């Protein structure tokens, strides 16, 4: 019990102090929801391969605070549709759904992780969230999802040229895509010009920040959707990763 309490206290203190450093606010109700998310993560991590990060302070910074960081770049409105591509353990989608209630679609092709997300949605009592256990290349061609999202997000999934082919077919004209990237962001951006032009995107802004406790640097890349994505994109599952634009 003492070890469990120590884990929770470390996570909570790190989360709140780190949020203050970033200029973010975490109300008590949100903190309670995040504690439930943490408990589920720790309970199901091994069998669902949810994360390699197990230190409570690292979970607070590298998962919860990192997920919230996109709000420093673009806020989310209640009427908006948001797609989280490769949602994994719900970072960033579930964390943002607590902070900014809207209409979320969590896209996760791995069945065990998709099942975890469905369990988390139930335990967190989060309305207006759908889990789609399929690949982004398939969902991006479906008429219910194609070019229908105000905001698409992706964190720790693939290089930027690949992510653009996953995300921009889902993003409506005038909407945005945010990619959570690390120190190699500039190199990935240099390689993304053809993908942006082909898929109807335009680089709008980047924001660089250092995560609390010196746990790494984050680059948030904001892409605006300015033109329709040609019907041939996204290509067949696996093709974007094998042959990036």
- For the chain, domain boundaries: 2-242
pLDDT at 46: 82
CATH assignment, 2-242: 3.40.50.150
3-class DSSP string for the chain:
CHHHHHHHHHHHHHHHHHHHHHCCCCCHHHHHHHHHHHHHHHHHHHHHCCCCCCCHHHHHHHHHHHHHHHHHCCCCCCCCEEEEECCCCCCCHHHHHHHCCCEEEEECCCHHHHHHHHHHHHHHCCCCEEEECCCHHHHCCCCCCCCCEEEEEEECCCCHHHHHHHHCCCEEEEEEEEEEECCCHHHHHHCCHHHHHHHCEEEEEEEEEECHHHCCEEEEEEEEECCCCCCCCCCCCCHHHHCCC
- Residue 234, pLDDT score: 98
* End-to-end C-alpha distance for the chain, whole angstroms: 52
Kindly give the parts of the chain with pLDDT less than 70: 1-4
Residue 225's pLDDT is what? Answer: 98
- pLDDT at position 1 is 43
């Amino acid at each position: 019990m003492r070890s469990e309490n120590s884990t929770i206290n470390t996570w909570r203190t790190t989360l709140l102090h780190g949020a203050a450093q970033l200029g973010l606010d975490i109300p008590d109700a949100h903190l309670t929801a995040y504690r439930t998310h943490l408990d589920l993560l720790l309970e199901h991590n091994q069998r669902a391969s949810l994360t390699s990060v197990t230190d409570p302070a690292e979970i607070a910074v590298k998962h919860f605070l990192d997920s919230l960081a996109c709000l420093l770049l673009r806020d989310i409105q209640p009427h908006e549709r948001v797609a989280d591509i490769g949602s994994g353990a719900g970072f960033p989608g579930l964390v943002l759904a607590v902070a900014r209630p809207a209409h979320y679609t969590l896209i996760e092709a791995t069945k065990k992780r998709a099942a975890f997300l469905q369990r988390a949605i139930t335990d967190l009592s989060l309305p207006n969230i759908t889990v789609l256990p399929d690949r982004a290349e398939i969902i991006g061609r479906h008429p219910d999802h194609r070019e229908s999202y105000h905001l698409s997000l992706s964190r720790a999934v693939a290089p930027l040229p690949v992510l653009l082919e996953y995300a921009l077919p889902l993003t409506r004209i005038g909407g945005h895509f945010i990619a959570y990237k690390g120190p190699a962001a500039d190199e990935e951006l240099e390689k993304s010009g053809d993908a942006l032009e082909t898929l109807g995107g335009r680089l709008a802004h980047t924001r660089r920040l250092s995560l609390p406790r010196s746990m790494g640097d984050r680059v948030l890349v904001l892409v605006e959707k300015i033109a329709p994505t040609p019907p041939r994109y996204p290509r067949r599952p696996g093709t974007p990763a094998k042959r990036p634009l």
